[in-house]
Amino acid sequence: MLRIRDLNGWYGPSHVLQDISLEVDRGEIVCLIGRNGAGKTTTLKTIMGLLDRRSGSVIFKEEEILAAPAHVRFARGLAYVPEERRIVQGLSVRENLRLGLVASKAKHEETRRIEDIARIFPRLAERLEQEAVTMSGGEQQMLAIARAMIARPDLVMLDEPSEGIMPVLVDEMFDLFRRMKSEGTTILLVEQNVELALAIADRAYVLDQGMIVHQASAQALLADDEIKERYCSV
């Protein structure tokens, strides 16, 4: 579904990503893991088209999208949930969910889509009319994921979804990722909790200083304490 070849990305003059190559097959959960500052978030932003300077190849569903703006990538079925969540202050949960349909061709299905997403996220179903920013951090993270999912993307990129969330909600969230996968959603996941991420993933790539330094099945990486210690400690 997603094939990256020799991807480079820059923040100003800084050459942050250096010839990244990776693949994500339909129906997989693939993890990007590495120490803080390794380039994980930059990789997701570059794939989404959020960095001005980039080079290489980003092929999504057999179509080259490197030059496409972010909103076009989203309309084609590629979604990104940033670490910052970006819940809009002053809007209810329902209104935040509606924002996920702005660039979608399914705006006429708004009522049904919100009902469907509320069944998947029962915590949000109880709070549809509540101002979104008054919810807990974990509930806001679920809203950010639900807002991306309401457009029914083919691939969702998640950046540190467990950051700052109480353990009970983290477990609930990762159960949700398993369900998303079972229902056909493909996931590219950046996650600080390496063991939790690898427990639900099919494969993983390890980044270090903007380069892919290792790739393996999730199970192989779970068993490789040396790799985790060397590249994945915070």
Instruction: Please tell me the predicted confidence (pLDDT) of residue 234.
Output: 55
Burial, 143: exposed, middle or buried (Cβ in 10 Å; 0-12, 13-18, 19+)? buried
pLDDT of residue 46: 95
pLDDT at residue 104, rounded to an integer: 64
Give pLDDT, residue 85: 81
Q: What CA–CA distance (Å, rounded) separates 79 from 71? A: 9
- Where in the chain are the domains? 2-77+153-231, 89-151
DSSP secondary structure letters along 8-75 = EEEETTEEEEEEEEEEE-TT-EEEEE-STTSSHHHHHHHHHT--SSEEEEEEETTEE-TTS-HHHHHH
pLDDT at 83: 86
Virtual CA dihedral for 104, 110, 114, 115, nearest 10 degrees? -140
pLDDT at 163: 86
pLDDT at site 233: 64
pLDDT < 50 stretches in the chain: none
Per-residue pLDDT, 103: 62
pLDDT at 18: 94
Fold of 2-77+153-231: Rossmann fold (3.40.50)
What's the confidence (pLDDT) of residue 172? 87
pLDDT at 95: 93
